[in-house]
Amino acid sequence: MFEVMRAIRLSVLITLGLATPAMAAATVPEEFQGVWAAAQDCKQGFQNILPRVVNRKYAACRVMKVLSLSSGHPGGHTDTIYLNCEGSRSREIWHNENIDGTDFLVTMQFERGAEESGPSIAIFKRCPEIPLTDIPLSDIPGMDTRR
């Protein structure tokens, strides 16, 4: 009987030890982190991607889960990101690609209940030619210090 109880305790400890990392907050991979702007002009549509939060103009989104996918393409990275944006949950596929020295981020968003309207696709890019100091903090979600 003592041996059975000890085996059960050991099994529980191992199970909890393996489950603990899965319960930890999800972290966005480094290649996606930073300030991104709408790809057409780098002057609007900013989003600020942090390790556990995606700040957008309309909401601060908490990162719930990150699933890495193999893109099979050198220089690119693809992940599925699950977000909770102030109660609205979404699943997004993110792909970053460097083309001629410029980083692009393509997102496909599937919001809960959006099956009728279909997914939305957005293209962002890092704009190193515009220093962050030249962008008003109020234009970068999550960076407005007046709040």
pLDDT in tens, the chain (147 residues): 545 344 444 343 343 333 333 444 699 999 999 889 988 778 888 888 999 999 988 889 999 999 987 656 666 789 999 999 988 888 999 999 998 888 999 999 987 654 556 788 999 998 877 766 667 667 777 665 444
Domain boundaries, the chain: 25-139
Question: Do residues 27 and 51 make contact, with C-beta atoms less than 8 angstroms apart?
Answer: yes
Quote the pLDDT of residue 144. 55
3 state SS of 131: coil
Does this model's pTM top 0.95? My answer is: no
pLDDT score of 117:
66
CA Rg, the chain, in Å? 20
